[in-house]
Chain A
């Protein structure tokens, strides 16, 4: 009966209840987005780094991976030493460079990754074959579209341009054997992958036996931090960074995102709380006479409290469920905007939905819904019955 009364009280003022639900839904959507934002980058970045199973990355001493143009000397020797370790099952050297693809009378620049196809972890082949042989490349859609090429075509690719000779340097004819998606590159960035040796030779003597990055995959169950420390001790020319450390560094760099998410999430929760408190208080104030009569005919205080808390919680929960849907839609839209952020890998999700986030948001909103009803419930339950009825009669 109390449930029926609570439901009827909400239905009685349909427009007002609907507006409150919409308000809570917007608040809930924002809260969910902020909860998603708070953990999205970290989880997404961690998944991205671990996607290919490499737990440790080696960059030139004192740098972060691809943070500078510096390279690691004696790459092949380091690879051999690492492969000799019992806890290492694969090492993938990567050389990064900027190459120029002739296109008519002009050229199109593209990022190039020199890798060993069999162990690489930088791209996924979408079509065709891996560029395992000298003078073979796999290009991404952005590059193929920019030069109007297809698998099987041959491109004239140069490592640089000599302005005095007015000629390309390190020029080679490379055949497209595959179409690839580059995991760590930003959206729309033109890119190609080619054998490490091919790129090293194109880049000239300055890049002979050098790599920008070495990625290390450990055996299952290996102690990543211990391996990282041992490698850094053993190979003096590199800085070793584990995925966990990388995530930690990313977290530190993007801590303002979390702070922003926390502040905005708190604000949206507070807005939802105040909205429901106000609405339920107004509703209770309009029904003081009814509540006094309920008390007069023997309805216990706890029932009045229950009814009012149910009303507040119902508004909050219905709004929360609608808000979850709305939050997912807005998160998707915002993600598409942020995904175009220059320099960020396309695969990074700022707003990553995880069921835990939805439960956290729902839990917070449900708690707020109950709290929002506390004041009006206290007001309703503590009414002096006779005085309220007298005032109602006078009114």
Chain B
């Protein structure tokens, strides 16, 4: 591995100052499960690595405040999957966090890292889209909120400005009852990246929110407000047509190793229909 200078700031202003000073020569280190691989294989060779894990303002914590559940950027998947508040109101996020990598990876990989890495296959992205999460970013100009639907651009690229970092991910506490589920397809059970990763949520007002990843350059959110999808008694043909429309933004790459576009699109439809049924069932059981 190429050597670099290591910085371990204790406060957020120190991080922002370091980012300002080093610009693109700096890389942020949270869980390291992606970064260290890329430092070793030479695709990244920063002069400075800034370790965020001891920054007080980013401390790995899940807090309820002002009608939101705020998840600190450096909170690891293991803690998200096990948190009772996440499991109560955002079950699909807990399910997604529980299938990222292996136990060893989940003990290190952070929610902030998962979204900032902006992999199209990021498993936490679909539930965050379904739950309408906001990304809290800090930079030289202060703090701002970015709706998660405006956050992902393409693999490795987000709408964060240079000098900005994610400090937390916030989920609005549900005002309407919702049933939601995360499902994925991978080549093998256990430790693998998703060939399709998907979340479906149905709420009591009849809205269906469907988000999916690993079938295009970035995770996609599609919404049906007609109430037809959420209604299991609505005509089957009409429901199938609406569901099909929610898949129109899928554009899987023919160059990916994990699965062919045809397979991904077929599995997207299968998983989408299955997740819709489970979401309706969960709403009924709420």
A binds B: no
